[in-house]
Amino acid sequence: MAGGLVTAAAQYDGCDAAEIARRAGVPSAVLFTRVGSTLDVAHERAAAGAPAGTLVLADEQTAGRGRQGRNWVSESGSGIWMTLVERPADPAAVAVLSLRVGLHAAAALDAFSPGPVGLKWPNDLYAQGRKLAGILIEARWREAALDWIAIGFGINVQAPRGIDGVAALRAGTRRMDVLERLVPALRAAAAATGPLSADELGAFARRDVARGRRCREPVPGAVTGIDASGALLVSTGRGVEAVRAGSLVLEEDA
């Protein structure tokens, strides 16, 4: 199995795989005490025929990853480190899936967050001005057909040690309570079709932590929002540019 040292688990916070699957509303759950990356395991399971809704959970990741190869700190017991396998009916919706997942997840996590959950293009969730969670979506294709997607999601239930500028859920939050709300929200996002709707764009605007602020990357300018294709809109000296790739770095964070 990919990902280095792997230790399977019989339980996760006192629940076995069958109980977790029932409470999260998925067909199956795969549990680990330690794994390199739940994304790697999810891809292996999907390639072997795992059904849509297969949930991979680890208490600790030793090689958790974010966008562009960045590491994600995944200490034992400090967060939810998970990947969900889905097989969407609309391949075109994959282009906006990270944003759609963020919208659905933010609504689910409001109940556990110390403040309203904000969103930062393209894949970060914030609370009280600090990063709370991250999303990484990887797709696998069979020639021109979408075979499956793996929705990687990492959220700090407790603030990781020795790292400044990060947020966590409210003290006393139980991971299973979060999973009961979060996993169905992610599944709903994966089942949606088409570009972002006007309602979704409005919902994103209300949670957008970058809207109206100046950025240095992916292009210098002022962030004005996103469009239905999921592109970041930045007002520059040349007008409003739609940017579909890269990372958003705000001036005060650079």
Element (H, E) at 181: helix 175-191
Q: What pLDDT is attached to residue 220?
A: 97
Could you tell me if residue 33 is left (phi over 0), alpha (psi between -120 and 50 degrees) or otherwise beta? alpha
In this structure, are residues 230 and 96 in contact, taking their beta carbons and an 8 Å threshold? yes
Tell me: cis bond preceding 122? Omega within 30 of 0 counts: yes
What was the pLDDT predicted at 70? 58
Pairing of strands 124-127, 221-226: unpaired
What pLDDT does 5 receive?
A: 60
Exposed, middle or buried: residue 213 (CB in 10 Å: 0-12, 13-18, 19+)? middle
Q: Which overall architecture, per CATH, does domain 7-201 show?
A: 2-Layer Sandwich (3.30)
Alpha-carbon distance 28 to 19, whole Å?
Answer: 10
Radius of gyration of the chain (CA): 18
Give, in words, the CATH class of 210-253.
mainly beta
Q: Which SS3 state, helix, strand or coil, does residue 104 take?
A: helix
For the chain, which ranges sit under pLDDT 50? 1-4
Same fold across 7-201 and 210-253: no
What are the residue boundaries of the structural domains of the chain, listed by start?
A: 7-201, 210-253
Query: Taking the complete model, does pTM exceed 0.95, yes or no?
Result: no
Residue 22, pLDDT score: 97
